[in-house]
């Protein structure tokens, strides 16, 4: 039975990439040494970094006046690196759309004054303004896709300060117009590769601060400052290669739209399950849902697991159920999830041919 992993992160990676990595693990490019034994300063590894950046630039259509930084510390370290590096007046704008933006706000408060310009109302995405005129803000931060709440931005606010976005759970899953942003950042472990790598895409003229500790200063990461997460970068480069072969971000987005439509359509018709988010703010990648009963959600989670649908528990802060459909999740995974929900609802066994 094929197992479909609906985890919100670390998420499912393409099986063909995992097989290639396994095959090459003992001898990286025929050197007789593993990638995890290879120097980060070697020409071979440097080629991997260059290939990663070239492929990401192509996939996301990143303009030439942006730098790609490969960091560690997860998206979480960016919650402080951003205010530290982008500070000019020490005033930062945030839109509070959920758990992750609240964490970003809490860290930014250590480095200046935070203005929360809008707050989401429960699970509906709410952006009650479309322009920010206050030039005294150093930037405006938004979380483009809220992994826990299952909401996302469709229309960005029009702002005259640099827009900074956490794209951890939607990078490469849907088109993002990089040129509208001053800085984008994402932990790799959902759509890019293994954990341990954080990608920052930053317009070159941004970041004013000086005198920061060496690792925390963006300016020091144009070349490799210290030993990066070599294995994560190596696997991530393979994932980007796979994505290009599959047709790039447009193909990923189309597949993700088909898959999430399959799940949302079922949830909207079901008597037993319902989605927690309605309308235009529904996330493409993270679908929180419930039976309406905490105990029954747990029973279904178990039932799903025995039918090859794993990691569908909601985030520990909110409970319930959640299906994350990142790029490596095939449409067949979405269909399996719906088959399993239908079988549960009808009190039957799962009839999927591949179960």
Beta strands 140-143 and 163-166: pairing type?
A: parallel
Q: Which is nearer to ligand PMP, 75 or 176 (CB)?
A: 75
A 10 A CB-CB count for 16 gives 12
Q: Which stretch binds ligand PMP (CB under 6 A): 55-63, 68-76, 83-91, 265-273?
A: 68-76
Residue 79 CB, nearest approach to ligand PMP (Å): 8
The contact mask relative to ligand PMP for 182-201 (x = CB under 6 A, - = no) is -----x--------------
Strand, helix or coil for residue 178: helix
Catalytic residue among 190, 202, 297, 339: 190
Q: What is the dihedral of CA 71, 317, 110, 200, to 10 degrees?
A: 20
- The structure tokens listed for 165 are 């976005």
A 10 A CB-CB count for 253 gives 18
State yes or no: is 102 an active-site residue: no
Residue 185 CB, nearest approach to ligand PMP (Å): 9
Residue 46 CB, nearest approach to ligand PMP (Å): 25
Strand, helix or coil for residue 286: strand
DSSP track, 44-92: HHHHHHHHHHHHHHHHHT--TTEEEEEE-SHHHHHHHHHHHHH-SSSEE
Q: Which is nearer to ligand PMP, 168 or 256 (CB)?
A: 168
Catalytic residue among 166, 202, 255, 339: 166
- Cα 97 to Cα 142: distance, rounded to the nearest angstrom: 8
The contact mask relative to ligand PMP for 234-273 (x = CB under 6 A, - = no) is ----------------------------------------
Total residues in contact with ligand PMP, by rule CB under 6 A: 11
Q: Within 246-351, where are the H helices?
A: 248-269, 294-306, 331-346
CA separation (Å) from 259 to 127, 174, 315, 339? 27, 13, 21, 13
Q: Which stretch binds ligand PMP (CB under 6 A): 165-173, 206-214, 215-223, 228-236?
A: 165-173
**Contacting residue, 166, 174, 311, 339, with ligand PMP by CB under 6 A:** 166
Q: Whose structure tokens read 């529904």? A: 282
Q: What is the dihedral of CA 58, 12, 100, 254, to 10 degrees?
A: 50
The contact mask relative to ligand PMP for 36-55 (x = CB under 6 A, - = no) is --------------------
22 sits in which H/E element: helix 15-24
Residue 72 lies near ligand PMP (rule: CB under 6 A)? no
The contact mask relative to ligand PMP for 119-158 (x = CB under 6 A, - = no) is ------------------------x---x-----------
State yes or no: is 53 an active-site residue: no
Q: Within 272-330, where are the H helices?
A: 294-306
Q: CB within 8 A of 48, min separation 6: which ones?
A: 233, 234, 237
Q: Which stretch binds ligand PMP (CB under 6 A): 49-57, 162-170, 214-222, 248-256?
A: 162-170
**Contacting residue, 168, 191, 281, 285, with ligand PMP by CB under 6 A:** 168
Residue 100 lies near ligand PMP (rule: CB under 6 A)? yes
State yes or no: is 100 an active-site residue: yes
Residue 75 lies near ligand PMP (rule: CB under 6 A)? yes
The beta strand positions in 89-182, using DSSP E, are 91-96, 113-119, 131-132, 140-143, 145-146, 151-152, 158-159, 163-166
Q: Which is nearer to ligand PMP, 167 or 341 (CB)?
A: 167
**Contacting residue, 49, 53, 71, 74, with ligand PMP by CB under 6 A:** 74
**Contacting residue, 4, 5, 6, 9, with ligand PMP by CB under 6 A:** 9
Residues marked active site are found at 100, 166, 190
| Residues found near ligand PMP in the complex (CB under 6 A) | 9, 74-76, 100, 143, 147, 166, 168-169, 187
């Amino acid at each position: 039975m094929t197992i479909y992993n609906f985890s919100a992160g670390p998420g499912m990676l393409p099986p063909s990439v995992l097989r290639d990595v396994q095959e090459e693990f003992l001898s990286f490019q025929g050197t007789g040494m593993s990638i995890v034994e290879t120097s980060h300063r070697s020409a071979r590894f440097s080629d991997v970094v260059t290939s990663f950046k070239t492929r990401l630039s192509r996939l996301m259509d990143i303009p030439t006046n942006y730098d790609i930084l490969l960091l560690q510390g997860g998206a979480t370290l960016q919650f402080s690196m951003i205010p530290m590096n982008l500070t000019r007046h020490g005033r930062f704008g945030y839109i509070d759309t959920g758990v992750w933006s609240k964490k970003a706000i809490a860290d930014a408060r250590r480095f200046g004054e935070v203005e929360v310009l809008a707050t989401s109302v429960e699970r509906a995405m709410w952006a009650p303004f479309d322009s920010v005129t206050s030039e005294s803000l150093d930037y405006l931060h938004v979380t483009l896709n809220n992994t826990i709440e299952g909401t996302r931005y469709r229309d960005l606010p029009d702002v005259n300060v640099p827009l900074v976005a956490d794209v951890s759970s939607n990078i490469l899953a849907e088109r993002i117009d990089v040129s509208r942003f001053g800085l984008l950042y994402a932990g790799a472990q959902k759509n890019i590769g293994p954990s341990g790598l954080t990608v920052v895409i930053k317009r070159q003229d941004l970041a004013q601060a000086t005198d920061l500790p060496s690792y925390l200063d963006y300016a020091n990461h144009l070349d490799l400052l210290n030993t990066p997460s070599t294995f994560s970068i190596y696997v991530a480069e393979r994932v980007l290669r796979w994505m290009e072969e599959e047709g790039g971000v447009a193909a990923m987005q189309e597949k993700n739209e088909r898959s999430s439509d399959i799940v949302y359509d079922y949830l909207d018709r079901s008597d037993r399950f319902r989605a927690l988010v309605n309308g235009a703010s529904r996330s493409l990648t993270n679908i929180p849902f419930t039976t309406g009963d905490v105990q029954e959600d747990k029973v279904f989670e178990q039932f799903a697991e025995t039918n090859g649908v794993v990691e569908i528990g909601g985030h520990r802060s909110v409970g319930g159920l959640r299906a994350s459909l990142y790029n490596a999740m095939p449409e067949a995974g979405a269909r399996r999830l719906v088959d399993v929900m239908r079988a549960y609802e009808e009190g039957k066994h799962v009839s999927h041919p591949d179960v």
